[in-house]
Structure 1
Amino acid sequence: MNPAELPHQVHESGANGVFDRIEDAIEAGYIAQLNYVKQFQLKDREKIITAIREAVIENKEKLAQMVFEETKLGRYEDKIAKHELVARKTPGTEDITTAAFSGDEGLTIIEQAPFGLVGAVTPVTNPTETIINNSISLLAAGNAVVLNVHPSSKVSCAFVVNLINQAIKDTGGPENLVSMVKDPTLETLNRIIESPKVKLLVGTGGPGMVKTLLKSGKKAIGAGAGNPPVIVDETADLKQAAKSIIEGASFDNNLLCIAEKELFVIDSVADDLIFHMLNEGAYMLDQQQLSKLMSFALEENVHQEAGGCSLDNKREYHVSKDWVGKDAVSFLRQLGIAHEEDIKLLICEVDFDHPFVQLEQMMPVFPIVRVGNLDEAIEMALLAEHGNRHTAIMHSKNVDHLTKFARAIETTIFVKNASSLAGVGFGGEGHTTMTIAGPTGEGITSAKTFTRQRRCVLAEGGFRIIG
């Protein structure tokens, strides 16, 4: 999608939230938030959020197509589903509650108050989806947001910022509640971080970005990397496990941080599980094909540098950016293999130390490791997850086994007998989010995450019931 194809107002500085200068975006967002909290009530916030939801649903196919064409990542059909998910299942003002305590000594009310203007960083993997999710949550909490989006998605992001602000204006809301700079850089990010008008920082992406926000001296909410392991034990419904794993690991070509990245399966049921995965449409790579795939999908870390979704500079390989988010058929084509167009996931048997186990590869290439027993599976899963405490999945009918793994892994999301997608409300209960704040501890974020507690006390001397 070429920038010239966007609505004309996106190119004009300040039109519907998109600015040439980051200083102007910050100032506009700051003024908008002051107006928002002074002139608009909670019911007005909900009206605004409803309008945003409707605008996104109406434009979900266009948004999906724009993101797909600009980033060249993932699957168009899955991006439609992601946009619909964040529009429908991101909580609004119902998430903002007030607690009250009354007694002989008076009345105390604890309100969830806004921070003000929030600076947010969004990733290339879920660019517009994260903006929609964050905007609904932040606006429900009474904040405004100024964005520093990933440069590789800036056209799509400008379009969705325009769309959101137009929806707000159509309901009579203030201009520029959601703002961004047209050409985001590290320098524009630093300006957001340093601005005294920005009171809270929110980042969704890699560990380097989260580390930068945490050094700012401001409160920061950071959603970092994950490398979610899945365990299948000998009691699992293997057919259902195979179907669920393929659904989660192949969704949007494995771009989601919650997606199944590596499998540890008890050896006694491994063959049967693989049989069911092949029946569900997976393609098994032999060792020669795997070796060839590694030659173009991975890059040797010759300079001992940190990269991708890890700060570890000792990794032997990095994932090639050229193959992140590409579909399984593209890999097969590169391998020179006759293929079926409906293949969504490539599977391979490897050892624990294999790079595809250790790296968050974000490709539809799924490594399978055989283990002797549950304890071995848990030990390996813990090591492969690298302490991110992001997401883990297990398929088992044994409650003790499920509990043992859940307590050991201590991830923000733990999914039992379902696709990883259930962890964010896609085929599962509960609300959704694109910002899973494992590093800073907030977990599944929503409107209340982006508030600060405000205690209002009316003491006994000023409050007396006359009986």
Structure 2
Amino acid sequence: MSLEDKDLLSIQEARTLAKKAKTAQKKLAQMSQDEINRIVKAIADAAYENRERLAKMASEETGFGRWEDKVIKNLFGSRVVYEEIKDLKTVGILNEDKQQGLMDIAVPVGVIAGLIPSTNPTSTVMYKTLIAIKTANAIVFSPHPGALKSILETVKIITDAAEKAGCPEGAIGCMTTPSVAGTSELMKNNDVALILATGGSAMVKAAYSSGTPAIGVGPGNSPAFIERTADVKKAVKRILDSKTFDNGTICASEQSIVVEECMKEQVVHELVQQGAYFLSAEEKKKLEGYIMRANGSMNPAIVGKSVQHIANLCGLNIPASIRVLIAEETKIGHNVPFSREKLAPILGFYTVENWEEACTLSAEILNHEGAGHTFSMHSENEEIIRHFAVRIPASRFLVNTASALGGIGGTTNLFPALTLGCGAVGGSSTSDNIGPMNLINVRRIAKGIKELEDLKPKSGQQASTPVQSDMIEMIVKQVVMELSK
């Protein structure tokens, strides 16, 4: 009998891949740091060499973004990530303190289930493979169906390179028949030790409810505050460069701009000068109907699309030179599309009286959607920056940089990553930019330095607490009073 049902095929494939990966991971765990490093370099080199071809494949297959920008993403996911991790100690003894009698040993978690989105398919495969193999873990990918061909080709390229460098067969796997049932089986499979989930909220919630330990990330909805001391020209350039990069498909990209009333005219002028278009009330209403679907989720028809494509979709007459569409907004809410995450060259625009109001508004935007993800600010006032830093519910607080590229560590010194933790406030298990050290456990060896007797009070000493001392003093006073009668 042969299986013909897609879900059954997908479930069986998930089980088979997980089993093979577990066998391969046991072999990886026996390798030295040098052996692991050679495999990792081979993966990075192969991914880098194919960066342009894979970028074009992803863009053509998904219809999202610009292939030219996806080349940069692939460079980032291969070469930039490799340069950051190549010298990391991730196998065997990590640290040893002979004086304190302590030693840390890296322990791979085992088989990782890697969930891949359609917005950044090829670059995310590269990045997740590198950090998984670097830590002697195996990884099995569950690809988004909308990017299946480009994901499978990326996996083939890096798998061939890895195995030529000595990687055990089965250590890098990918489902060829993706389905919800198959992904669910992969996440719940007993051979899978950890889920590394990048994608939509529903998928991330499913990962956390699977019963398998998970690292998942929620939606971004980054406000960008331009404070009055900012270099407005540079701030606007960074925001527009960021929001138009790959047509806004990076979740750390800006979703709204917040300005003080005294800066509004200057900022609006600069935005227009650099290619932004402010929608009229009528145009805003037309576009609103296409940003979100009836169920409140983002409309895939606008994701990663150009301004002209979006304009044609909703019947707007927008000049060909326009880079970003902007609508003025005053409200925040589930039914207020411009206050929410928009993975497209679309921005909301808020005006406030002062920086205190900007801080409150930015926190409200994030708490409504995107809590724990990313916030950006353009300012030269260190005191105000510090005030925001302790109050804004974001794991990445970016100053004077493009939010999309700064959040992933491209234009900042944050760890280069395409999976960005949102912390507990955002429903994530960590607030880190996910790297190799998030994918290992640490076995701590501790030598005894005391005996039981050393923990007891020494002879002649009384272990009395302040409470006991007060009670003794009270009893003495009572005795003295009784004797004086």
Q: Which TM bucket (shorter chain)?
A: 0.7 to 0.9
Q: Does the 8 Å contact 1:20/1:183 carry over to 2?
A: no
Question: What amino acid is the match of 1:350?
Answer: E
Displacement of 1:336: 4.4
The answer to whether structure 1 residue 377 and structure 2 residue 373 are counterparts is no
Among 381, 391, 404, the residue aligned to 1:398: 381
- Give, in whole Å, the separation in 2 of the partners of 1:238 and 1:330: 29
What is the aligned partner in structure 2 of residue 356 from structure 1? 337
TM-score (norm 2): 0.83
Task: Decide which moves more: 93-102 or 114-123.
Answer: 93-102
What is the aligned partner in structure 2 of residue 79 from structure 1? 70
Displacement of 1:459: 5.7
Q: Does the 8 Å contact 1:148/1:180 carry over to 2?
A: yes
Among 87, 92, 98, the residue aligned to 2:85: 92
* Gaps in structure 2 of 5+ consecutive residues: 1-9, 423-427, 451-485
Question: What amino acid is the match of 2:95?
Answer: A
Displacement of 1:444: 0.8
Displacement of 1:417: 0.9
Question: What amino acid is the match of 1:437?
Answer: G
The answer to whether structure 1 residue 35 and structure 2 residue 27 are counterparts is yes
Displacement of 1:422: 1.9
Question: What amino acid is the match of 2:44?
Answer: R
Displacement of 1:390: 0.4
Q: Does the 8 Å contact 1:49/1:92 carry over to 2?
A: no
1:91-240 alignment to 2 at 5 Å? 91-96=84-89, 98-103=94-99, 107-240=101-234
**Residues 357, 402 of structure 1: alpha-carbon distance in 2 compared, 3 angstrom cutoff:** farther
1:10-89 alignment to 2 at 5 Å? 21-38=13-30, 40-89=31-80
Among 280, 302, 309, the residue aligned to 2:274: 280
What is the aligned partner in structure 1 of residue 400 from structure 2? 417
- Give, in whole Å, the separation in 2 of the partners of 1:390 and 1:148: 24
Displacement of 1:445: 0.8
Q: Does the 8 Å contact 2:257/2:350 carry over to 1?
A: yes
**Residues 199, 336 of structure 1: alpha-carbon distance in 2 compared, 3 angstrom cutoff:** closer
1:394-414 Cα deviation digits (max 9, x unpaired): 011111111111211141111
What is the aligned partner in structure 2 of residue 433 from structure 1? 417
- Give, in whole Å, the separation in 1 of the partners of 2:341 and 2:329: 15
1:153-172 Cα deviation digits (max 9, x unpaired): 11111111111101102213
- Give, in whole Å, the separation in 2 of the partners of 1:322 and 1:232: 30
1:112-149 Cα deviation digits (max 9, x unpaired): 21011111212111122111111101111110011112
Displacement of 1:93: 4.8
Larger radius of gyration: 2
The answer to whether structure 1 residue 325 and structure 2 residue 309 are counterparts is no
- Give, in whole Å, the separation in 1 of the partners of 2:182 and 2:275: 45
Question: What amino acid is the match of 2:384?
Answer: H
- Give, in whole Å, the separation in 2 of the partners of 1:338 and 1:362: 19
Displacement of 1:457: 4.5
Q: Does the 8 Å contact 1:226/1:360 carry over to 2?
A: yes
Displacement of 1:206: 2.0
TM-score (norm 1): 0.86
In percent, how many aligned pairs have the same letter?
A: 27
What is the aligned partner in structure 1 of residue 479 from structure 2? none
Question: What amino acid is the match of 2:41?
Answer: T
- Give, in whole Å, the separation in 1 of the partners of 2:73 and 2:292: 28
Secondary structure of 1:252 counterpart? helix
Secondary structure of 1:434 counterpart? coil
The alignment covers a number of residue pairs equal to: 425
Task: Decide which moves more: 144-153 or 344-353.
Answer: 344-353
- Give, in whole Å, the separation in 1 of the partners of 2:39 and 2:72: 22
- Give, in whole Å, the separation in 1 of the partners of 2:211 and 2:294: 36
What is the aligned partner in structure 1 of residue 436 from structure 2? 447
1:325-361 Cα deviation digits (max 9, x unpaired): 1111212334342522x53211222223372333212
Displacement of 1:26: 1.0
Question: What amino acid is the match of 1:76?
Answer: W
Q: Does the 8 Å contact 1:119/1:193 carry over to 2?
A: yes
Q: Does the 8 Å contact 1:96/1:447 carry over to 2?
A: no
Task: Decide which moves more: 366-375 or 450-459.
Answer: 450-459
* Gaps in structure 1 of 5+ consecutive residues: 1-17, 302-306, 309-318, 462-467
1:80-121 Cα deviation digits (max 9, x unpaired): 1111011122243533351212238xx431112101111121
Task: Decide which moves more: 432-441 or 84-93.
Answer: 84-93
Question: What amino acid is the match of 1:49?
Answer: V
Secondary structure of 1:174 counterpart? coil
1:214-238 Cα deviation digits (max 9, x unpaired): 2223321111111111111111111
What is the aligned partner in structure 2 of residue 242 from structure 1? 236
- Give, in whole Å, the separation in 1 of the partners of 2:248 and 2:86: 32
Q: Does the 8 Å contact 1:352/1:380 carry over to 2?
A: no
- Give, in whole Å, the separation in 1 of the partners of 2:292 and 2:201: 20
- Which structure's relative contact order is higher, taking Cα pairs within 8 Å and 6+ residues apart? 1
Q: Does the 8 Å contact 2:288/2:337 carry over to 1?
A: no
Secondary structure of 1:409 counterpart? coil
